[in-house]
């Protein structure tokens, strides 16, 4: 029983630490960069198609 309790405490502590570390790493600038990189990767993989309208990317619906 004690081993399970220690495992749970370690797991919850790691989850909480990871959550706060992630929140500290993300700002509005980082979100824009992450979103742009994600769209590029998804477009290269063929999962989405994008087109630029007035300097902004717009996702286009794929037809199967």
Domain total in the chain? 1
3-state DSSP assignment of residue 59: strand
Flag whether the pTM goes above 0.75.
no
pLDDT of residue 39: 87
pLDDT of residue 7: 94
- Cα–Cα distance for residue pair 61/23, rounded to 1 Å: 32
Look up the domain containing 20 and give its range.
Answer: 2-60
Beta strands in the chain (DSSP E): 49-53, 56-60
Question: 8-64 pLDDT, tens per residue?
Answer: 999 999 999 999 998 888 776 788 888 889 988 988 988 888 888 888 878 887 775
pLDDT of residue 19: 94
- Cα–Cα distance for residue pair 50/48, rounded to 1 Å: 7
């Amino acid at each position: 029983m004690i081993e399970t309790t220690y495992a749970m405490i370690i797991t919850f502590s790691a989850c909480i630490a990871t959550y706060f570390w992630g929140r500290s790493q993300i700002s509005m600038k980082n979100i824009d960069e992450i979103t742009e990189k994600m769209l590029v990767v998804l477009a290269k993989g063929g999962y989405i198609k994008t087109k630029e309208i007035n300097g902004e990317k717009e996702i286009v619906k794929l037809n199967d």
